[in-house]
Amino acid sequence: MDNFKLPQIPIPDFELPQAVREVLEEAKVKLAHRPKLLQQFLNCFPNTLETTTKLMDDGTTFVITGDIPAMWLRDSVEQVIHYVPLAEKDADLQRIIGGLVKRHMMYASLDLYANAFNETANGWHWDANDETDMSAWVWERKFELDSLCFTIRLAYAYWKATGRSDIFDERFKGVLEGIIRLWQTEQRHAEQSDYRFQRRNCPAIDTLRNQGLGMPVNYTGMIWSGFRPSDDACELHYNIPANMFAVVSLRQMKEIAKWVFRDEALVRTIGQLEDEVQHGIQLYGTYRHPEFGVIYAYETDGYGNYCLMDDAGTPSLLSIPYLGYVDKDDEIYQNTRRFILSKHNPYYYEGAVAKGIGSPHTPPGYIWHMALSMQGLTASTDEEKREMIDLLEATDAGTGFMHEGFHADNPEIYTRPWFAWSNSLFSQLVYEGMKKGIV
């Protein structure tokens, strides 16, 4: 990480919105019988607003990840997504979330391939020597298919929650059309794409092989991705959860194009791309496992090679219903879920204290709090939701916050003490449990 100083926890320049304060007061009643869980919720639910959010003079909103002074498209959305349902009648939340959508549009209009951006054009980069087409605004330029999906996810959710369409201006439409062109290009990455990425003197998962082009893939109709949601390089460059997320995003984009922009030609273009990606997933993205039956692969290259695993970061195979691709009772999803929550998944760990999904991004034996939260959010039974909440409550190492990964034998050993996305996902699960009366 070059040419920057680690951020101090900022003092927000605004008060917590009324709707957020009401949720915290609700929790004080409904979680009074669980004082530790209550304190964790009081810490985590407002954490994004209290420590990572900055209202900009141009009407946009800048959201850092926590311990890194840059805004990831993906992370910033999931850091605020639990506030979106509260925004309908709260003007302060509308300013914050609508401003974040506008910030996404500004960044996307600068570079559709980048995954993370600076607050200003200050020239800060994760690695100043990356061999790719960088700019002073870009913190990191790893092309991750899911990044732009999260941009659409936030805009669509905000529109549906508030009924406000002022975010859908000409810049938004230009970005939407740009996303479609980029995804069409990346369907035939080797033949049509100019995107390259190389990083020297780094772990292999931080760079693309084949002179920055990535390993060869066959045409499938799916969209190529250089990197995973963990920011690690794909082994096989058709990431199935990311392509599923793209299908969901295309459905949402189609609805925006139809009802906001009234552009039937654009609707047809989006629909065709959606059909191609969906066909590719169904034809190339499944694997017949001898024990679990037909499951979704994590990645494929279209040549018959499969990466069978799951990673804690969203989008993941575990998160498929959370993203809205299929219902949690879908047969193939349930087969896949049994696979990834077993020792057949190379990144599923069981220890003396906990069991759950980790990541190649962290050391072996480390379980991610986000994976436990996602397991609870996608669980079919209240019993499993409660089990995950109990496990999250017990593994905070006494900090009152969630972390990235913690050791399955000892939660006192953990990574990233300030990771707002993890706090937000935990808050979603606990708030759902509060609403259902199961905690």
Residue 366: which CATH number?
1.50.10.10
Is residue 433's pLDDT more than 60?
Answer: yes
Has residue 3 been placed in a domain?
no
Buried b (16+ CB within 10 A) or exposed e, 314-326: bbbbbbbbbbbbb
Has residue 45 been placed in a domain?
yes
**pLDDT, tens digit, for every residue of 1-48?**
444 444 455 556 679 999 999 999 999 999 999 999 999 999 999 999
Cis (ω within 30 of 0) for the bond into 315? yes
Comparing CA positions, the residue from 215, 42, 208, 55 lying closest to residue 141 is: 208
Has residue 336 been placed in a domain?
yes
Q: Over range 245-262, report the average pLDDT.
A: 98
pLDDT at residue 11 in the model: 53
Has residue 362 been placed in a domain?
yes
Has residue 260 been placed in a domain?
yes
**pLDDT, tens digit, for every residue of 35-72?**
999 999 999 999 999 999 999 999 999 999 988 899 99
Has residue 7 been placed in a domain?
no
* Beta-carbon-side half-sphere exposure of residue 388 (alpha carbons within 13 Å): 29
Domain span at 103: 18-436
Has residue 5 been placed in a domain?
no
Q: Over range 274-299, report the average pLDDT.
A: 98
Q: What's the pTM?
A: 0.96
Question: What total of structural domains would you count in the chain?
Answer: 1
pLDDT at residue 337 in the model: 98
Which amino acid is located at 137 in the chain?
W
187 pLDDT band, cuts 50/70/90, is very high
pLDDT at residue 14 in the model: 76
Residues 81/160, Cβ–Cβ less than 8 Å: no
Has residue 11 been placed in a domain?
no
pLDDT at residue 12 in the model: 65
pLDDT at residue 213 in the model: 97
User: Beta strand pairing status for 71-72 and 116-117?
Assistant: antiparallel
Mean confidence (pLDDT) of the chain? 96
